[in-house]
């Protein structure tokens, strides 16, 4: 747009010199404004040279004529074009005394023909009062091109005096056609923030935001940064419209560098513009960043985009291999890296992890340290499992340096942000001493914070226990007992199966037995019977692993109980002991058989582990059997243990072979 506007302005100025209608010069539009300006100045010089002798005679005569006479005769005998030509030859002192007395209309008429190159020094010395009388007339005539020519020669003091008489629309129009755009860096600092904001608002209402974008393009980065700060404080509709205008002008390469000049609150508001939730706009942002290598300027925007904006940004990144370039730019300045971590979600999480995984070891370590320093570890965690093994180990090594307070804060933060399993996986890779400390922190904090994943979805809760078993591997027994005692107060119907499933997934059977035994010990000490149901498959597998365990002391009560029940004549039995229920084909063949485990108040000779079929022959459910048995039972049925015992008998009776009649 600047090219078109400047070309049009040059044609208007040339038409005045040639005294023809501007439409007659339309064929010169393709020449370009630079060539037109050069030609115009050459033509002006030629006309001046041709008339120089006569003009000098007039100037010499003017010296002899008193100013009052010139003021009286000038409107009648000085044609505006001639007055403009003579102005550059009159003695400066005489001219400065004469100008304030000349009719303002004559000055306005002559202004459009003045060559600022010849009268520049005089313009800068004209009293401000004269300029304030002349400017409104030129503005009324919409002589923005004429005013734009004078900008290069007026002083900051004169500019400050003229700005109050120039309305906002005129200011934009003058800036658009100013020949020396560098002077805009003098003008804009003279305008306060309130007026800048008002001018942007006015531009939006007048459909002139394109002019505002042109103005932003022409000023220095420092001035532009201030103006964008102000723009970010305007209404949502104005801000959105401005971003769209920048996109329409293809000017994001101009706008993006201002992110480093914006105040945090303004940057956040700017990035949350609804315009950035538009696919085309975000493609423009990414294209500009890619074309002009402005990725470092994009980085501060990422955490401030709305969720919808980030989705569009992530989608646009895929078109230009932007993920890798964004990571490289952020890694080059480690302090910036935490800012791109909000992208560590679908659909580009894997690509982000791949790009991070390609960083040099030293570079990777610096960005992780930067993430930790910025308290942004939880945002890094989603991609850690996708990193190369060596990188994962380095994250664990750095996490091992956390003091207890840092680790607790990290665990709480991870829990609150739904990435507790990922942090536990990192912690599981730490040295034993650090893991023991972490297990202690989890145990000490479990009462106040959910560090055992109770509130997570089932799959995530299961992953918590998977990682906890790895974390607790080889940890001294006292630490495990402390963890078990905390776990004993959780919903055991979920915890107990999760611990056994975790053992199956991680092969950490010894640790799982220790935790379950610790829960039993706590229940026993509190005098509270605990019962839960576990898939039979897990109990069978646990029994098999228990048979391989040599340590059957009280610390591994659960393993010892399994061995006592399943080991027969030193041989492992794959079927359930029929002491509790008859070993009928119906029970053994049940697809979803379950095992009921009792802990706590278990009497001598009572089997703590017994099988319960999900559905017993005759269509009766286990619940039906329990309810029916409880109705017939005495006081024993009022306790958990009593109900379990009654249920066992009920199921046994239900599946017992019937004597043939």
Mean per-residue pLDDT, 82-96? 80
DSSP one-letter code for 476 = -
Extract the tokens encoding 210: 């394109």
Q: pLDDT exceeding 70 applies to what percent of the chain?
A: 82
Quote the pLDDT of residue 545: 80
Report the first-to-last Cα separation within the chain, whole angstroms. 104
Question: Does the pLDDT at position 631 exceed 60?
Answer: no
Find, among 39, 31, 38, 32, the residue nearest to 3 by Cα. Answer: 32
* DSSP at 659: P
Q: Count CA atoms closer than 13 A to 260's CA, side-chain side.
A: 10
What sign does the CA torsion over 111, 115, 117, 121 have?
negative
Maximum average pLDDT range among 68-82, 338-352, 365-379, 618-632: 365-379
Residue 66 · residue 57 · CB < 8 Å: no
State the burial class of residue 574 (Cβ atoms within 10 Å of its Cβ: 0-12, 13-18, 19+).
exposed
Q: Which of the four pLDDT bands, split at 50, 70 and 90, describes residue 140?
A: very high
* Residue 58, number of CB atoms within 10 A of its CB: 16
d(CA 584, CA 296): 71
| DSSP state for residue 657 in the 8-state scheme | P
Confidence band of 87 (pLDDT split at 50, 70, 90): confident
What is the pLDDT, as a whole number, of residue 407?
A: 96
Of the candidates 555, 397, 541, 415, the residue with the CA atom closest to the CA atom of residue 475: 555
**Among candidates 130, 191, 129, 197, which has minimal Cα distance to 163?**
191
Q: Which of 604, 600, 613, 598 is nearest to 645 (CA)?
A: 598
State the DSSP code for 180.
-
Q: What are phi and psi of 599, to 5 degrees?
A: -135, 160
Residue of 329 and 543 predicted with greater confidence = 329
* pLDDT(613) > 60: no
309 is written with which tokens?
């904006």
Task: Quote the pLDDT of residue 633.
Answer: 34
CA distance 363 to 577: 60
Give the residue carrying structure tokens 């940057």: 267
Residue-level pLDDT at 639: 35
For residue 370, CA distances in Å to 57, 250, 380, 640 come to: 77, 34, 11, 54
Report the candidate in 194, 212, 133 with the shortest Cα–Cα distance to residue 165. 133
The pLDDT score that the predictor gives to residue 553 is 62
pLDDT digit string, tens, across residues 282-308:
999 999 999 999 999 999 999 999 999
- Residue 192 reports pLDDT greater than 70: yes
Give residue for tokens 């539009």. 29
- Alpha-helical runs (H) found in 507-657: 509-526, 536-547, 557-566, 585-588, 622-632, 640-655
Do 106 and 74 touch, CB atoms closer than 8 A?
Answer: yes
Cα–Cα dist 199/191, whole Å: 10
pLDDT tens digits for 534-588?
777 777 788 778 777 766 566 677 777 766 655 433 333 333 333 223 222 333 3
| Residue 25: strand, helix, or coil | helix
pLDDT, residue 115, reads: 86
Structure tokens at 548: 């391989």
β-partners of residue 596 are 533, 610
Query: Cα separation of 447 and 431, whole Å?
Result: 26
d(CA 56, CA 61): 8
Query: What pLDDT is recorded for position 564?
Result: 63
Residue 241 and residue 657: Cα distance in Å, rounded? Answer: 83
The position carrying tokens 């009766």 is: 620
Which residues make Cβ contacts (< 8 Å) with residue 408, sequence separation at least 6? 441, 445
pLDDT at site 620: 44
Tell me the C-alpha distance between 587 and 611, whole Å.
9
Cβ 2 vs Cβ 148: under 8 Å: no
Residue with token string 């120089």:
52
Q: How confident is the model at residue 589 (pLDDT cuts 50, 70, 90)?
A: very low
pLDDT at 338: 94
Mean per-residue pLDDT over the chain, rounded:
82
Residues in the chain: 661
Q: What are 338's two structure tokens?
A: 């935490």
**Residues 517 and 555: beta-carbon distance below 8 Å:** yes
Distance, CA of 240 to CA of 335 (rounded, Å): 29
**What is 588-613 written as a DSSP string?**
HT-TT-EEEEEESS--TT--SEEEE-
Q: Mapping DSSP to helix (H, G, I), strand (E, B) and coil, where does residue 635 land?
A: helix
Instruction: Give pLDDT tens digits for 196-250.
Output: 999 999 999 999 999 999 999 999 999 999 999 999 999 999 999 999 999 999 9
The CB-side HSE value for 340 (13 A sphere, CA atoms) comes to 35
- Residue 337 carries which DSSP code? G
pLDDT at residue 541, as a whole number:
81
The pair phi, psi for residue 605, each rounded to 5°, is 80, 0
- Banded pLDDT at 264 (limits 50, 70, 90): very high
> Percent of the chain, pLDDT > 90?
49
Q: Which DSSP string corresponds to 45-61?
A: HHHHHHHHHHHHHHHHH
- H or E element at residue 132: helix 128-140
Instruction: Please give the DSSP secondary-structure letter assigned to residue 375.
Output: T
* pLDDT mean over 429-443: 96
Query: What's the rounded Cα separation, in Å, for the pair 147 and 439?
Result: 76
Q: Are 556 and 514 in contact (CB under 8 A)?
A: yes
**Beta strands at 571-572 and 594-599: parallel, antiparallel or unpaired:** unpaired
Chain segment 355-410, per-residue pLDDT in tens: 999 999 999 999 999 999 999 999 999 999 999 999 999 999 999 999 999 999 99
**What is the pLDDT, as a whole number, of residue 551?**
65
Query: What pLDDT is recorded for position 47?
Result: 78
Residue 608 has a pLDDT of 58
pLDDT above 80 for 597: no
- Cα–Cα distance, 89 to 55 (Å, whole number): 8
Classified as helix, coil or strand, 201 is helix
């Amino acid at each position: 747009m600047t090219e078109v506007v400047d070309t049009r302005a040059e044609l208007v100025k040339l038409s005045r010199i040639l005294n023809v209608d501007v439409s007659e010069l339309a064929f010169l539009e393709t020449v370009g404004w630079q060539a037109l300006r050069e030609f115009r100045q050459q033509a002006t010089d030629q006309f001046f040279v041709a008339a120089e002798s006569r003009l000098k005679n007039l100037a010499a005569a003017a010296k002899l004529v008193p100013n009052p006479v010139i003021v009286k005769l000038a409107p009648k005998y000085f044609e505006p074009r001639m007055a403009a030509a003579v102005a550059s030859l009159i003695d400066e002192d005489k001219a400065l005394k004469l100008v304030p007395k000349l009719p303002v209309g004559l000055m306005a008429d002559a202004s459009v023909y003045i060559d600022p190159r010849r009268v520049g020094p005089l313009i800068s010395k004209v009293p401000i009062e004269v300029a304030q009388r002349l400017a409104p007339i030129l503005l009324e005539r919409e002589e923005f091109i004429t005013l734009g020519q004078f900008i290069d020669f007026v002083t900051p003091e004169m500019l400050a005096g003229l700005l109050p008489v120039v309305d906002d629309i005129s200011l934009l129009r003058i800036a658009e056609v100013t020949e020396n755009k560098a002077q805009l860096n003098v003008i804009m600092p003279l305008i306060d923030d309130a007026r800048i904001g008002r001018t942007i608002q006015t531009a939006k209402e007048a459909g002139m935001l394109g002019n505002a974008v042109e103005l932003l393009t022409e000023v220095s980065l420092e001035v532009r940064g201030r103006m964008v700060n102000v723009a970010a404080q305007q209404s949502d509709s104005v801000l959105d419209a401005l971003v769209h205008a920048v996109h329409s002008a293809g000017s994001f390469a101009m706008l993006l560098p201002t992110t480093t000049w914006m105040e945090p609150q303004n940057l956040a508001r700017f990035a949350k513009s609804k315009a950035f939730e538009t696919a085309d706009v975000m493609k423009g942002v990414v294209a500009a960043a890619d074309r002009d290598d402005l990725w470092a300027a994009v980085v501060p925007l990422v955490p401030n985009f709305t969720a919808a904006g980030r989705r569009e940004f992530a989608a646009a990144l895929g078109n230009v291999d932007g993920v890798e370039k964004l990571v490289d730019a952020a890694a080059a300045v480690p302090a910036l890296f935490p800012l791109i971590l909000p992208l560590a979600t679908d659909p580009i999480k894997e690509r982000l992890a791949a790009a991070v995984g390609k960083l040099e070891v030293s570079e990777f370590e610096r960005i992780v340290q930067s993430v930790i320093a910025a308290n942004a570890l939880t945002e890094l965690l989603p991609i850690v499992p996708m990193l190369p093994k060596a990188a994962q180990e380095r994250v664990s090594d750095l996490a091992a340096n956390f003091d207890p307070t840092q680790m607790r804060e990290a665990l709480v933060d991870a829990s609150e942000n739904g990435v507790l399993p990922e942090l536990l996986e990192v912690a599981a890779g730490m040295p034993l001493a650090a893991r023991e400390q972490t297990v202690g922190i989890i145990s000490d904090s479990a009462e106040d914070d959910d560090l055992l994943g109770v509130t997570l979805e089932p799959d995530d809760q299961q992953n918590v226990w998977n990682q906890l078993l790895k974390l607790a591997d080889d940890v001294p027994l006292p630490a495990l007992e402390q963890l078990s005692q905390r776990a004993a107060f959780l919903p055991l119907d979920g915890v107990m199966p999760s611990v056994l499933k975790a053992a199956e997934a991680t092969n950490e059977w010894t640790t799982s037995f220790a935790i379950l035994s610790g829960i039993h010990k706590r229940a026993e000490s509190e005098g509270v019977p605990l019962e839960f149901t576990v898939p039979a498959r897990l109990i069978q597998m646990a029994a098999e692993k228990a048979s391989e365990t040599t340590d059957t002391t009280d610390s591994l009560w659960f393993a010892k109980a399994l061995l006592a029940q399943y080991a027969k004549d030193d041989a492992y039995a794959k079927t359930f002991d029929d002491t509790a229920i008859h070993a009928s084909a119906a029970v053994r063949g049940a697809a979803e058989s379950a095992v009921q485990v009792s802990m706590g108040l278990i009497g001598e000779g009572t089997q703590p582990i017994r099988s319960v079929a999900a559905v017993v022959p005759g269509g009766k459910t286990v619940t039906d059997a329990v309810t029916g048995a409880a109705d017939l039972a005495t006081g024993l049925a009022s306790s958990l243990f009593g109900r379990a015992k009654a249920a066992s008998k009920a199921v046994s009776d239900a599946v017992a072979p019937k004597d043939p009649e």
